[in-house]
Amino acid sequence: MIVRVPDITNEGLSLTDASALGAVYRDSAWRLLDVNLRVERDGADVFVTGELRAAVSQACGRCLEPSPGEVTAPVDVRLVPRPVTADNVELAADDLDVDFYDKDAIDIGALIEAETTLALPMKPLCREGCLGLCRVCGGNRNVVKCECPERPPDPRMAALKDLASRLSH
């Protein structure tokens, strides 16, 4: 959904219907559940504030299986027109919540995707106490109980054993 900056009236816009925004995520496993955003304008500055809730799926940090979950993301973004010259970029550089828009248009879908991504947990787990992948055989230890030793076998030892078995025949 594209909001044209000149179309934002003094009363601002309220975005409260997630389905009206269409598909906002490139990842089809993600879905916007709730949205409650205000879009307001002060001259050329546009403020997007509120909150959103989304169903997301990330790879588990231990076993790499998809781990579906929900995130709630607070939104507090100020958008300013993209500076024409590089000199002006410094003006906003130390203001973390400032983003740029181009050609009088704000892509609300892209903004929602960016804010959702920011709210993702750094180390997602498919479940509490996920056993992760076996470091020896790579098997998912939640699913298969492999008999691998805790430490990978030393390849030099394996070569010696191989030699020993050949000598004994």
Q: Which residues of the shown chain bind Zn ion in the complex (CB under 5 A)?
A: 60, 62-63, 126, 130, 134, 136-137, 139, 146, 148
Closer of 123 and 166 to Zn ion (Cβ): 123
Tell me how far, at minimum, the Cβ of 62 lies from Zn ion, in Å: 5
Closer of 23 and 64 to Zn ion (Cβ): 64
Pull the structure tokens for residue 154: 């030393």
- Answer yes or no: are the C-beta atoms of 41 and 111 closer than 8 Å: no
What HEC string does 101-113 produce?
Answer: EECCEEEHHHHHH
Residue 65 CA to residue 45 CA, distance in Å, equals 42
Closer of 83 and 152 to Zn ion (Cβ): 152
Closer of 55 and 136 to Zn ion (Cβ): 136
At residue 15, the 3 state secondary structure works out as strand
Tell me how far, at minimum, the Cβ of 22 lies from Zn ion, in Å: 32
DSSP assignment of 55-108: EEEEE-TTT--EEEEEEEEEEEEEEEEPPSSGGGHHHHHT-TTEEEEBTTEEEH
Tell me how far, at minimum, the Cβ of 148 lies from Zn ion, in Å: 3
Tell me how far, at minimum, the Cβ of 141 lies from Zn ion, in Å: 7
Residue 88 CA to residue 131 CA, distance in Å, equals 50
Closer of 114 and 148 to Zn ion (Cβ): 148
Tell me how far, at minimum, the Cβ of 127 lies from Zn ion, in Å: 7
